[in-house]
Amino acid sequence: MALHLNLNHEIQKQRRQRRRDPLKLGMLALLVIGAGFFFYYFVRLSAAAKVTATLAQMQAQWQTLEPQEKEAKAREEVVTLAQKTAETLIARIEGRFYWGPVLELVQQVVPPEVQLTSFEGDYSKDLKGRGIIRLQGISAGPDPRKVADDLRSNLQAKFSDKFNPAVAKFGSLEDGPKQVQLNGKSVATAAFNITLELSHGETVAPPSVPVRQRRKIGP
Amino acid sequence: MTLAKDEVQKIILSSLLLIGLLYVYFSLLLGPLKARENRALQAQKAIEPSIAAAQTQLAKVQELEAKAPATNKTVEQIKALVPEGAPVAWFPPRMNDFFKRHGIERCTVRMNNEFPDKEMPGFRRILWAIDLPRVEFVPLATAIAELENEEPLIEIMNLRIETVLDDPQFQRAVLTVSSTVPL
């Protein structure tokens, strides 16, 4: 066996020492960790940039929307006011108290034995949606008080169909001083004063034209 | 394996460098980045409801405005019924003409009161007294019914019909009328 001399052992030893140099190994480890951190930092940076970009986009959107919102609020007030005005106007028109049907009913109810001398009708918001009609007149017949009372009850019945409830009350009912001729006979008279209260609900009687028929209001 | 003195020194130096690196990384790089991201997220959370509210408001107004033409058309149609000018100039002749068309020749109209309409900004109410000194009941009732049909802005508040003593054929009628007119 030939003698083998290693004359490079010193060089090899130095090389081994360099290979396991802690500083070098540490630097390598630091480099690896640093690279990982660097990568993670860029991942986070990218995420943060996305969030910032979204925020910038939202701020830009808000800057556009804010004046539009202010303008919209102002427009809303105007439009709402106009709408409310229109609704009130339409409700007022549709909720009017119509006197045409009232006069038609009065004309239908008053018999030939009765002459009205005065008709007064009131309807206003002060009356809280009620119509008040005051009728004055003279009834004639063998029993003029009954004629007047029949008129009162007929008024109440007829008007209750359209204005539920309608209440007719006598303000006064007195015997008349004179006798009058009715159908060729001399009959007694009574002077009456009837108040008719009508409720004006949501259902409004449509206006109609009274039937042409002669009915006098007069003594 | 025992470490030589210089190797121990190098390990300590490497460790110090690692600590330094960690400090720099977390305190100077990652920390501010995270803080900035959090601030942006908070700002987003703060602005989101405002944007949503603004979008809702815009949608609401658009919806209102979509309905507005129909409403405006109705109001414009109603306003078109009212002539230009002062009501005291056009209302009495208009009533005179109306009653003449219904065979009632004598008609006196005067303005009693005028006040702004509290329920409807931009409108006012005027109270008129219409005196018909010589009318018959049926033509009067017909005229009143047609007046109520033709003039939607008019409402009769009070109606008084009385006999005319010297002429029992006729009555005298006085109407208190409220009319709604634009300001």
Name the token pair of B149: 């049909």
Q: Contacts of residue B137 in chain A, CB cutoff 8 Å?
A: 103, 107, 215-217
In chain B, pLDDT over 90 holds for what percent of residues? 22
Q: If you count residue pairs, one on A and one on B, with CB atoms under 8 Å apart, how many are there?
A: 223
Per-range mean pLDDT, top range of A2-6, A143-147, B8-12: A143-147
Judge contact between B140 and A121, C-beta under 8 A.
no
A62 to B71: CB separation less than 8 angstroms, yes or no:
no
A22 in reach of chain B (CB within 8 A) = yes
Q: Which residue has the higher pLDDT, A165 or A139?
A: A139
Which two three-digit tokens encode residue B147? 């007046």
* Shortest alpha-carbon distance between residue B83 and chain A (Å): 17
Averaged over A156-171, what is the pLDDT?
84
Q: Is A121 left (phi over 0), alpha (psi -120 to 50) or beta?
A: beta
CA B46, distance to chain mean position in Å, is 31
The closest CB to that of B44, out of A58, A82, A97, belongs to: A58
- Average pLDDT score, chain B: 86
Closest CB to A72: pick one of B57, B119, B160. Answer: B57
> In the predicted model, is pLDDT for residue A30 greater than 70?
yes
**What's the confidence (pLDDT) of residue A57?**
93
Residue B63 confidence (pLDDT) = 87
Determine whether the interchain pair B75/A85 forms a contact, defined as Cβ–Cβ distance below 8 Å. Answer: yes
Q: Does the distance separating the beta carbons of B65 and A79 come in below 8 Å?
A: yes
Res A86 pLDDT > 60: yes
Chain A nearest C-alpha distance from B84 (Å):
19
Determine, for residues B71 and A86 on separate chains, whether the beta-carbon distance falls below 8 Å.
yes
Q: Is the pLDDT of residue A215 over 80?
A: no
Burial (0-12, 13-18, 19+ Cβ within 10 Å), A74: exposed
Q: What is the pLDDT of residues B91-146, one digit of tens each?
A: 899 899 998 988 888 889 999 888 888 888 888 889 999 998 888 888 889 999 99
- CA distances for A53 relative to A116, B39, B77, angstroms: 87, 13, 52
Q: Which residue has the higher pLDDT, A77 or B75?
A: A77
A18, A50, A58, A204: best to mutate for the B interface, most B CBs within 10 A:
A58
pLDDT tens for residues A97-153? 888 888 888 888 888 888 888 999 988 766 666 788 999 988 988 888 999 999 999
Instruction: Decide if pLDDT at B12 tops 80.
Output: yes
Interface check for A65 against chain B (CB to CB < 8 A): the answer is yes
The pTM of the full predicted model, rounded to 2 decimals, is: 0.68
- How high is the pLDDT of residue B81? 81
